[in-house]
Structure 1
Amino acid sequence: MEVTIVENQRLEIQKKIDKVLCGKAEVESCCPIKDILARFGDKWSIYTILTLGKEEKVRFNELKNQISGVSQRMLTVTLRSLEEDGLVSRQVYAEIPPRVEYSLTPLGQGLLLQLLQLADWAKLNIDQILEARERYAKKEKLAQLA
């Protein structure tokens, strides 16, 4: 029996997903992948990486002002974890008051490109997503009335 191109592509996708999610036998080798995805997959990390991608270097307060809704504490935690993962560089200048600038590392620039692809996908599919949300809301409303 012959395997079609579509079936072959589906099998390749399944293999890639399996490598990310992995079974119980591979938990130790897989956990770092899940951990890494979880670390930069939250909304503040994504917004921070996108905002840092707009400019070469950004000071903390400038960054905070550009990311709507983020608290000072949450931005600090986010920047520390992105720095720990090698995605963000923190430069402290010995001045009074101290000046601190943040920028994306080459690794962070690589992630930025991937996030921009995801953003392009979201823009391309926004109408379908909004329609699906409307259908779901109507379905939920009908379920509550029943």
Structure 2
Amino acid sequence: MDTGFDLREHGGVDVFLRDCPTRAVLELIASKWTMLVLVALEDGRPMRFAELRRRLDGVTSKVLTQTLRALEREGLLTRQVYPTVPPRVEYRLTELGREVGGLLQSITDWSQANIVAIQAARKDFDERTAAATSEA
């Protein structure tokens, strides 16, 4: 499939190509929990695991741990362990994480501003689909 100009020939990437490493980044960022972690940390204040877990209502410890590790691996956040008993661990966005966190904050704001219209469209679609199914 031709995706247009192939940037690989010039040392770049092309997200539309199957083997493009950018796709793994997009997959991570598109995750609901990743988005919420990045937005929660976007103000620059470090947060501890328990704070994040309380802030992200519904996330399990396992999923939050996996999400934080993935974000750390990609260079989007740092994990600082303090030598106390018990150990204190704080998470903070890196410069790269703050950049994407700002973009995701805009998406979050848009989602909250448009939820009523989206819910109305969903209801209308479901009613049309139900009516079409019952007529068939």
Q: TM-score range by the shorter chain?
A: 0.7 to 0.9
The one-letter amino acid of 1:44's match is: W
Percent identical: 36
1:21 pairs with 2:4: no
1:70 pairs with 2:59: yes
Q: Count residues with an aligned counterpart.
A: 124
Partner Cα distance (2:134, 2:34) in 1? 39
Query: CA RMSD for the aligned pairs?
Result: 1.9
Higher relative contact order at CA 8 Å, sep ≥6: structure 1 or structure 2?
2
Partner Cα distance (2:53, 2:112) in 1? 25
The one-letter amino acid of 1:20's match is: V
Structure in which a larger fraction of residues adopt helix: 1
- Where does structure 1 differ by over 6 angstroms across 4 or more consecutive aligned residues? none
Instruction: Give 1:32-111 correspondences, 5 Å limit.
Output: 32-54=21-43, 56-111=45-100
Verify the 8 A CA contact 2:39 2:102 in the aligned structure 1: no
The one-letter amino acid of 1:117's match is: S
User: Structure 1: where are the runs of 5+ without partners?
Assistant: 1-13
User: Structure 2: where are the runs of 5+ without partners?
Assistant: 6-13
Verify the 8 A CA contact 2:76 2:93 in the aligned structure 1: yes
| Pairing partner for 1:132 from 85, 106, 121 | 121
Partner Cα distance (2:133, 2:109) in 1? 35
SS in structure 2 opposite 1:101? strand
Q: How far off its partner does 1:124 sit? A: 4.4
TM-score of the aligned structures, taking structure 2 as reference length: 0.81
Verify the 8 A CA contact 2:34 2:67 in the aligned structure 1: yes
Partner Cα distance (2:83, 2:95) in 1? 25
Verify the 8 A CA contact 2:42 2:102 in the aligned structure 1: no
